[in-house]
Every structure is written in C-alpha cells, then in structure tokens.
Chains A and B, each alone.
Chain A
C-alpha cells in the first residue's frame, strides 16, 4: 500500500509543482490562472494521499514530512510529470498525456476495495474531468492552429512520447495492488486512454508518434536529473529552516 500511495501522491504533487512554476509566466492571464488552479487541485489531491499514508504509518510523520523531507530516490512518481515545462506546447502535451491516463485511472480507482482510496478517487475525478477537458482543448487549438503552434505541439508529443510507456506499465507494487483489489489493473484502462488519445490527436490534426523504446524507472525511484532540481526548490524552506511552520 505504501508505494502505491506514494505513486499517487508524488505524481500529483510533482505535476502540481511543475504547473505552479507557470504562476506569473503564463502566455496570457487566463491561461496563467488556469494552470495555477490545476496546480491547486493536484496539490490538494496529493495531500489526501500523503495524509492517508501518514495515518497508516502511524509513526508521527505528517503530510509535510512526506512531501518535504524525502530525497529524490524515495519519490515514486512517473518520469513524465517531472519533465520541465518547456514552452507552453510542451506543458500542454505533458498534461494531456497525464490527464488522458489519470482520468481513466481514477475512474477505475473509484472501484477500489479500500474505501478511503475510492473516496479520494471519486473526489479527484470530478476535478480531473476539467483537467482533461482543458488540456484536450489546448491540444486541439494548438495542433489545428497556426503552422508554428502545430509544429511546436507536434514536437512536444514527439519529445515526450518516450515517457508515456511508464504510465501504462505496472511496477511490481502496482500489480500487487491490483490483485489485492485496492489498486488499478493498468491493462484494463489502456484501451480507454488509447481511444481518447487517438480521438484528440485526430481532431488536432497531429500525428501519433511511433511507439519505440520507452523510458522507465520513476516508479522505483530512478529519476531523471530534473527531479533533483525540482525538489531543491520545492523543499528549500523545510530543509533550510527545519520544522518551520506557517
């Protein structure tokens, strides 16, 4: 349960942090606000998982300890969410790849035999519905937009494609979670996320990149160099001033 909860918590925490980096830098005010609102939802979701894990552990660790006092090797998030924002197109492509998986994942997690997880999933799903809608609309707008926006979003998908495989490839603890009934069978959601992807790429007049060699390792703590830098910023205050509180 521990690793599975960390996977869910870290995915949402790290992507939330990445989106937060856009605050004040969005291409226009409305987009800026949208991205910080998405970030708020994701960080809120991660808190639910961290809180649950802290309770299960019962060692007096809090949600803050879990977010701020672990090193990169202990993070279980998939590599996709830690990838840098790049330009707006790359952020949109990264979010869409994540959202089009996250949505169906949460739908399945609503059937978890763990009541608390099912409740968190049902709550999160409502928010992620809007996330998927937002990123889908932007993929279409950029893909079916100008020559430059089309090129940029296509480049973004080509670049990020290698991180998509990890979303649908279960780590041993996910297989265990699925067979114990509290997790999600990733094979069962694969066709749903593929259909969504095909539909949106088609509407966006984009080409589906070739499935080649896929990156992996995030779920077992082997991360890209980007996560260390992200954590250095995210954890700075707690590391510099231990035990400081609001």
Chain B
C-alpha cells in the first residue's frame, strides 16, 4: 500500500495568511526539474537555467543561478510575471522544448500563470559549470563526468583518459565519439569490461 500525501486546507489555515513565497522558493521548485536525458541531474545542476527575472507591480528583480541572488525577495504569484532564461547544452538539443514545458508546469503548480521561458546563447554553455556534487551524481548513475576544462584546442587535439565510473580504472578506451546523445561518447572499461557513457567536455 502506498500512502499519498495530499495538501489539505485545515480549518485553521483557512484564516491565516497564505505563506509568503520568495525567490528562493522559485529556485527550490526549479531544482525538482530534471534533464530528461540524464534524469539524475536537475536543470540547475546542469546550469541550464541562468537567471530569473521577476516583474512584480512594476518592480524588476533579477536573480542569477550563480549565488541565487535576491533569494529573500518576496514574490506574489498572482501578479508576478516570470521570465526564466535558459541556455541550451547543444544547439540541436531536442530536450530543450520539454525542459521549457516542465519549467512552466512546475511554476504553474505553485500558482504562477505568467511564465515565459527564453533561450540565451551567451555565454555558451560549458560542462565546466557542472559542480562536483553533480559530477558525483553522474558517477553514481554510471556516467563518467567530463574530465577536464573545456578548451577548444584541447578538445580538438588531445585524447583524454577517462575513469570508469564503476571500478575507477583509468584503463579505458573510446568506442565511439557520439554515444546515446550528442553530449556523450561511448567508452569501454578494459578492466571490468563494462561499456559506459562519458559526458564529453564541452
């Protein structure tokens, strides 16, 4: 049997003021939206959401992913118009439309009806934005995280040595430059013999 938690309005809370929403709540809700192709990472782990602009009663507040600025500023779901800036990982990434829809759904579930998701290209997304905590999640999931700083010259000429996410061996080989998605390459571990995805530097 599963128990389902349904939020209810108890007699008591009917009379009290609705709890105030502030910008940090927006970030916490967005934190629940995952990358459909790597469901172990959220769109914040990936650095896909860059900033939120909130227009509330003629007042503009900007909150950046980096540092989650203005986190304590209150927002009123009734009036606020939200502009969520996202950046695609790859230009042809088919997941972007879905991510945009999930952002709007998630915020709508918390009463925000006026939400626009806008794509920005600058600065170009890079795997360097993926924090260590997310790299750890990737390893646990069986995907080797990007190994080095993403610099064009390096990507073009050097071969990276990739660590097997299962047994930590560095004795691995590349099977294909393009794996199950554009952002991953297919590798094989020569010690445990398991194939695995490598999240390419980008």
Q: List residues of A whose CB falls within 8 A of some B CB.
A: 30-31, 33-34, 37-38, 40-45, 47-48, 103, 115, 118-120, 122-127, 129-130, 132-134, 137
Contact = CB atoms under 8 A, between A and B. Distances in A.
- Most A CB contacts (10 A, CB to CB) among B124, B125, B178, B181 go to B178
B179 interface: yes
A134 B91 contact: no
Contacts of B75: none
A37 B181 contact: yes
A53 B4 CA distance: 51
Ranked nearest first, the 9 interchain pairs of A and B with the lowest CB-CB distance are: A44-B92, A44-B91, A30-B176, A40-B92, A34-B178, A119-B122, A37-B178, A119-B121, A37-B182
Contacts of A44: 88, 90-93
Given A41-B90, A129-B156, A30 B121 contact: no
29 contacts: A30-B176, A33-B178, A34-B176, A34-B178, A37-B181, A40-B90, A40-B92, A40-B93, A40-B182, A41-B90, A41-B182, A44-B88, A44-B90, A44-B92, A44-B93, A47-B91, A122-B122, A122-B123, A122-B124, A126-B124, A126-B152, A126-B155, A127-B182, A129-B155, A130-B155, A130-B177, A130-B178, A134-B178, A137-B177
Chain A contact surface mostly: helix
A118 B150 CA distance: 19
A133 B155 contact: yes
B177 A133 contact: yes
- Most B CB contacts (10 A, CB to CB) among A40, A42, A124 go to A40
Interface string B110-152: 0000000000011111100000000000000000000000101
Contacts, number: 80
Given A119-B122, A123-B91, 6 more contacts: A33-B179, A33-B180, A40-B93, A40-B182, A122-B122, A130-B178
Nearest to A134: B177
B121 A123 contact: yes
A133 B156 contact: yes
A30 B178 contact: yes
B31 to A, nearest CB: 25
Contacts of A38: 178
Interface in B14-31: none
Contacts of A42: 92
